Structure 1
Amino acid sequence: MLTEGVAPAYPTSREPAGATGVPGSGRVALDGRWTTDQGAAVESAAARIASQAAGRAVVVDLSGLERLDTLGAWVLERTRAEIEAGGGRLSYAGARPEHRILLSEAVLREADVPKKPALGLVYGSLDGIGRSVVRGRHDLVTGIAFLGEVIAACVRVAARPSSFRGTALVNQIEQVAFRGAPIIILISFLVGGIVAQQGIFQLQRFGAQTFVVNLIGLLILRELGVLLTSIMVAGRSGSAFTAEIGSMRMREEVDALRVMGLDPIEILIVPRILALVIGLPMLTLIGALAALAGGGFTAMLYGGLTVEQFLARLQAAVGLHHVFVGLIKAPFMALTIGIIATIEGFAVEGSAESLGRHVTASVVKSIFMVIVLDGLFAVFFAAIDF
């Protein structure tokens, strides 16, 4: 502490850190042990030096120190920075060689953060677009490479069927398809009813409300059924996959599998992706039937159609190939969702913030790619007139 004419009241060889000031000299003599085990006393003494030496030139005499470790050196350097920031100056005297080494290594340094050049609105927008394109290209390359690893793992599993974990596959199918069916049936039923209601309101102007059956039949079986189901699976199962694998990464369980000589892709990824590829077509069919049921109920309620009229019109409007269009898309969308979800899970680092960020990215990227795939398939099927 920086006091006037106060001598130490304890033996410096046994007692904790202390500081004694010489009256009017601006000189402070440190004594005792400025070490980690005396952290509270070190902080207290340093705080008193900083508070009483504001705006003054102070010389700190280190010759009386019994011991000085990294914590004590860092606290002294922090105090020096505080005093100099307040217009004062602190220098050291009587430091032994080992003390000088510690103080030189503990000196506070400003982080060398490169400043970003100021960009205008136009250049800033173009810069953001360019960075997004580069990130998209990186994600595409990463996804293709990861897909290759998954295919190689599937080949290895097929060559050694005894190594395949069927129990994990059944469990994942239960989580993806069986437990996901109720919410998909409910939402598909409601969406089918909403589409039918709006279609009837518009077609009534032309006296053609019966054509709402054609509308909902083609729209749901070809596009809306698989698209809506895929989006819900991406939000439900895809995010769950990312969170599960990300949590395993945080707890180093993935590294533990590698240490034991096991392939994480065979154990963690293959069962989940196969469960999606198997479960999503089933959910698509169930969701399409639920949406048609919701559309039929609305058509009978608002359009005056009977059950027989609705079914007859539906049979005349759609064919079996329309059902196949939706089901053909489902495995590809399932594969895309599984690849994105697992990649984001493996990218999780050791913090909860990273886990939340990658779960969000998994859902957003999956939904985006599902919509892109649906558009590509629509163009393809239109080109081959299917």
Structure 2
Amino acid sequence: MTPTEPYITPPPAGRMDAPWQIGGDWTLSHYASLEPQVQALQTHLQNATAVVFANLEAVDTAGASLLVQLLGSQRLRQLVQQPDFDEGRRALLLAVANAMADESPQPAAPRSSVLHELLGHIGEAVENLWHQGRALLGFMGLTLASMLGVLLRPRRWRITSLAAHLEQCGLNAVPIITLLTFLVGAVVAFLGATILADFGASIYTVNLVAFSFLREFGVLLTAILMAGRTASAFTAQIGSMKANEEIDAIRTLGLSPIELLVLPRVFAMLIALPILTFIAMLSGMLGGGLVCALSLDIPSTLYLSILQDSDLLRHFLIGMLKAPLFAFLIALIGCLEGFKVSGSAQSVGEHTTSAVVQSIFMVILLDALAALFLMEMGW
């Protein structure tokens, strides 16, 4: 059957009350030729007094969309209700008209200034910080409650898991902690000796190294290293289990993920970080002593004698008391970020990075607050 050319026929000249006539094949093959006509005549046809389908031979979804654009959805629905209209074409045209009527134009995005975007980002950051703080406090309470319940029941202690995590986050971290604090102790001693020499007080370099490492550097450097090394490991381990649905399997078996996964890691950190802090203190003072012996001609016997005459116990206790608090927060943040993983490898990486950043931030923030408090108290 030869396709009929589609047409849109206006009323004869002088007879404005006569209807417009639409007919022919309104199909995809004629779309390119029909579209310019539709765009040119749609205003006239939508305002015309009458429109009739004179001899509509064929129509498909492409032609129906042009008819909707030409006449409008509401008017096309009225026209196809004519009793002599083909039932199949009526259904097609009604379906297309209803579908195109539901497509409301998307409003243009408002143009925002740099200030608005900056304030919006600040607001989002503050809101995220608030939600993270609430989640951390809730997870802390859940962990403390589980910890108290396990401590009162020795049969539920996970000794094997605790020993494995102690080796991972404690024993394996000794070389890097020792090397780093030894080098930092040497640098502190060298800088202190350089400045104090201008005042003829090079001998006080010993006190500078001892006080700085016993009070601040020993625990702070150790906590930062453990935040980058161990918190990320905790997040990656628990996050991988979350992605593989192993945590769901643990819950299905009626076991507690907090008791099996979190508590052994928290206990391991509470044991390992104070020990590593003590090692860091000794290593830092050893590095400072080496610089004093080589650069300032202070023999080791004099170095130890100055340390014995100094009031080091108070600074040592202050540094050691910070270690369990830092350890608890680092382990808690690492485990919490692991439970937040959504299931993809990208999510594991994002939450691992977040765990490291949050842990280091919390360690430095608490250390600064503790330093201000202790300074005001005269301790």
| TM-score with structure 2 setting the length | 0.74
Where does residue 256 of structure 1 map in the other structure?
Answer: 249
Contact 2:232 2:356 in 1 (8 A): yes
Q: For 1:355, which of 348, 352, 357 is the aligned residue?
A: 348
Contact 2:231 2:356 in 1 (8 A): yes
Structure 1 pair 96–55 and aligned structure 2 pair: CA distance change class (3 A): closer
Distance in 2, Cα, partners of 1:249 & 1:114:
40
Distance in 2, Cα, partners of 1:329 & 1:320:
15
* Amino acid paired to 1:198: L
Distance in 1, Cα, partners of 2:186 & 2:166:
28
Q: For 2:259, which of 233, 245, 266 is the aligned residue?
A: 266
Alignment of 1:94-243 (within 5 A): 115=109, 118-121=112-115, 123-243=116-236
Where does residue 337 of structure 1 map in the other structure?
Answer: 330
Q: Secondary structure at the match of 1:350?
A: coil
- Identical-residue share of aligned pairs (%): 38
Q: CA offsets, 1:9-34, max 9 Å, x none? A: xxxxxxxxxxxxx58679699xxxxx
Matched, 1:293 2:286: yes
Structure 1 pair 28–205 and aligned structure 2 pair: CA distance change class (3 A): same
Distance in 2, Cα, partners of 1:300 & 1:111:
79
- Of Structure 1 and Structure 2, the greater helix share is in 2
Where does residue 69 of structure 1 map in the other structure?
Answer: none
Q: CA offsets, 1:43-66, max 9 Å, x none? A: xxxxxx79x96565599867xxxx
Distance in 2, Cα, partners of 1:233 & 1:97:
69
Q: Secondary structure at the match of 1:179?
A: helix
Q: Give the superposition deviation at 1:338.
A: 1.2
Q: CA offsets, 1:179-214, max 9 Å, x none? A: 011111111111111111111111111121111111
Where does residue 19 of structure 2 map in the other structure?
Answer: none
Q: For 1:322, which of 307, 315, 319 is the aligned residue?
A: 315
Contact 1:213 1:317 in 2 (8 A): no
Alignment of 1:7-46 (within 5 A): 22=3
Distance in 2, Cα, partners of 1:272 & 1:99:
66
Distance in 2, Cα, partners of 1:137 & 1:370:
18
* Amino acid paired to 1:282: I
Distance in 1, Cα, partners of 2:58 & 2:140:
64
Aligned residues: 327
Alignment RMSD (CA, Å): 3.7
Contact 1:188 1:291 in 2 (8 A): yes
Q: Which range moved further: 52-61 or 307-316?
A: 52-61
Structure 2 gaps of 5+ residues are: 7-23, 39-56, 68-85
Distance in 1, Cα, partners of 2:320 & 2:121:
38
Distance in 1, Cα, partners of 2:219 & 2:92:
72
Q: Which range moved further: 265-274 or 292-301?
A: 292-301
| TM-score with structure 1 setting the length | 0.73
Structure 1 pair 305–256 and aligned structure 2 pair: CA distance change class (3 A): same
Matched, 1:275 2:268: yes
Contact 1:143 1:343 in 2 (8 A): yes
Q: CA offsets, 1:228-247, max 9 Å, x none? A: 00000000000110111111
Distance in 2, Cα, partners of 1:274 & 1:115:
52
Structure 1 gaps of 5+ residues are: 6-21, 30-48, 63-75, 85-92
Distance in 2, Cα, partners of 1:261 & 1:288:
44
Structure 1 pair 270–95 and aligned structure 2 pair: CA distance change class (3 A): farther
